[in-house]
């Protein structure tokens, strides 16, 4: 069996590597020459525990290699981004480009698996695209198992947590939704190579919506916590103590609020449901709006802190602790911290010091004269205002004496008793 994984990002590379670790011939395909060269050297371009050793061994043993252009394979797994456009409409351009890339090398009996989290109907859409690109091949029709076809097509969404991707790829149940039952069964064979949990077969529409529902459920719960934080701020109540009290109820488990919601899933996927069923998704839409507005609330708190100083803004240094979208990773996608920093750049304080232990370079979009990456102790020593945005493990070890005399805006409860 030869497997091609299209897209070597946070999902594609771990998936390719786990398969290769089970002695499957895997070809990773990525449009970035840097990514391809890095993988072929047995190295990684992302931060993920265990992945570096697994990639090194897979490349060394000859089971994993990377290339820019797809080649003939038995299985094609598409794991490329699915962001949304400015109007929250799903952006299918990356998936479409991947389909166009693999279409010329498809052969009868191949299996095409869409791993990218996608709006309902996406698996059927890529099937139509492939049919248009390769009219001499036959493709499945949703739900019609009695019809013969050449290419098996399925959707198998990942359900992993950054920082635990390798473990969860193997240990989590996997939902496998084919265009037909036979499509599901052919895709299931691939996942049974490395998944130790259950591989649950359904249809592609149910598989697509299940992933969106899972992440929307989490988004709604985070929105509840974030809204509670706004209420507590208005009523001058410590939100961290309030949640600790409420969670003493045996059937209550309120999540921790934060500066917003980021990442490639929770901040994006609910909009796919809203786009597909706008009249029926009022709670999901409202939750998205609550979470999207939280960075604006944090920025207002920063402005309030700035007004407490007697010196002008041009003499105020601001430190931001963390800019990834969650703790202990290097992924900045849709991070609410980035939005907050962009707002700070617009008002032009003297300096904005970023402390982010998981990256070595700041995004090119930042003004390099104003925004600087610094070690934690130096950044705290130089700053007047400290904004705690991400609960990285390194920040748990911060000497609280370094915060003395600073205006501290703690968005994630680092200074609460729970995190002390």
373, part of any domain: yes
Domain shared by 198 and 314, yes or no: no
- What span, in angstroms and rounded, lies between the C-alpha atoms of 352 and 318? 5
pTM: 0.90
- What span, in angstroms and rounded, lies between the C-alpha atoms of 86 and 88? 5
Of 199, 265, 319, 320, which is the active-site residue?
Answer: 265
Q: Which of 21-25, 93-97, 191-195, 400-404 has the lowest mean pLDDT?
A: 400-404
- What span, in angstroms and rounded, lies between the C-alpha atoms of 184 and 176? 6
417 pLDDT higher than 60: no
Local confidence band at 223 (pLDDT 50, 70, 90 cut-offs): very high
Verify whether residue 211 is a known catalytic residue.
yes
137, part of any domain: yes
The reported pLDDT for the residue numbered 198 is 97
231, part of any domain: no
Of 156, 188, 199, 211, which is the active-site residue?
Answer: 211
134: tokens are 């390769």
150, part of any domain: yes
143, part of any domain: yes
State percent of the chain over pLDDT 70: 99
pLDDT tens, position by position, 361-389: 999 999 999 999 999 999 999 999 999 99
Q: Mean pLDDT, to the nearest integer, of 101-121?
A: 97
What are the backbone dihedrals phi and psi of residue 252, each rounded to the nearest 5 degrees, phi first?
Answer: -120, 130
- What span, in angstroms and rounded, lies between the C-alpha atoms of 26 and 77? 10
419 pLDDT higher than 70: no
Question: Which has the closest alpha carbon to 117: 91, 143, 85, 141?
Answer: 91
Bridge partners of residue 352, in order along the sequence: 318, 371
69, part of any domain: no
- What span, in angstroms and rounded, lies between the C-alpha atoms of 156 and 178? 8
13 pLDDT higher than 70: yes
- What span, in angstroms and rounded, lies between the C-alpha atoms of 272 and 152? 25
CATH of the domain at 381: 3.40.50.720
Verify whether residue 234 is a known catalytic residue.
no
Given 190, 212, 234, the domain boundary residue is: 212
Total tally of structural domains belonging to the chain: 2
Contacts of 44 (CB under 8 A, 6+ apart): 13, 38, 51, 52, 55
Given 212, 233, 250, the domain boundary residue is: 212
Domain of residue 410 covers 308-420
418 pLDDT higher than 50: no
């Amino acid at each position: 069996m030869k497997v091609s994984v299209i897209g070597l990002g946070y999902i594609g590379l771990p998936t390719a590597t786990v398969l290769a670790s089970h002695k499957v011939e895997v070809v990773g395909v990525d449009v970035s020459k840097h990514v391809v060269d890095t993988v072929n050297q047995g190295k990684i371009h992302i931060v993920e525990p265990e992945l570096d050793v697994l990639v090194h061994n897979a490349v060394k043993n000859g089971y994993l290699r990377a290339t820019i252009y797809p080649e003939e394979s038995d299985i094609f797994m598409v794991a490329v981004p699915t962001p949304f456009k400015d109007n929250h409409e799903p952006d299918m351009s990356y998936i479409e480009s991947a389909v166009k890339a693999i279409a010329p090398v498809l052969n009868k009996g191949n299996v095409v698996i869409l791993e990218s989290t996608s709006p309902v109907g996406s698996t059927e859409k890529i099937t139509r695209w492939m049919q248009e690109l390769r009219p001499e091949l036959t493709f499945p029709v949703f739900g019609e198992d009695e019809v013969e076809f050449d290419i098996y097509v399925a959707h198998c969404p990942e359900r992993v947590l950054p920082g635990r991707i390798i473990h969860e790829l193997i240990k989590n149940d996997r939902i496998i939704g084919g265009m037909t039952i036979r499509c599901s069964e052919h895709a299931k064979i691939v996942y049974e190579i490395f998944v130790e949990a259950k591989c649950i077969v359904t249809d592609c529409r149910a598989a697509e919506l299940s992933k969106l529902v899972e992440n929307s459920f989490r988004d709604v719960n985070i929105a509840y916590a974030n809204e509670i934080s706004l209420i507590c701020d208005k009523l001058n109540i410590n939100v961290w103590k309030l949640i600790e009290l409420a969670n003493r109820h045996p059937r209550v488990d309120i999540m921790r609020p934060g500066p917003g919601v980021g990442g490639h899933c929770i901040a994006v996927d609910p909009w796919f449901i809203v786009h597909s069923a706008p009249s029926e998704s009022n709670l999901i839409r409202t939750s998205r709006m609550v979470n999207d507005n939280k960075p604006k609330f944090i920025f207002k708190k920063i402005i309030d802190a700035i007004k407490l100083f007697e010196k002008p803004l041009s003499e105020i240094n601001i430190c931001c602790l963390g800019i990834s979208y969650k703790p202990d990773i290097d992924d900045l996608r849709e991070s609410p911290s980035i939005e907050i920093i962009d707002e700070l750049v617009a008002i032009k304080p003297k300096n904005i010091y970023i402390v982010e232990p998981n990256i070595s370079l700041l995004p090119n979009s930042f003004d390099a004269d104003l925004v600087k990456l610094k070690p934690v102790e130096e950044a705290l020593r130089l700053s007047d205002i400290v904004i705690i945005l991400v609960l990285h493990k390194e920040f748990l070890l911060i000497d609280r004496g370094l915060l003395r005399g600073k205006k501290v805006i703690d968005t994630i409860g680092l200074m609460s008793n729970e995190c002390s």
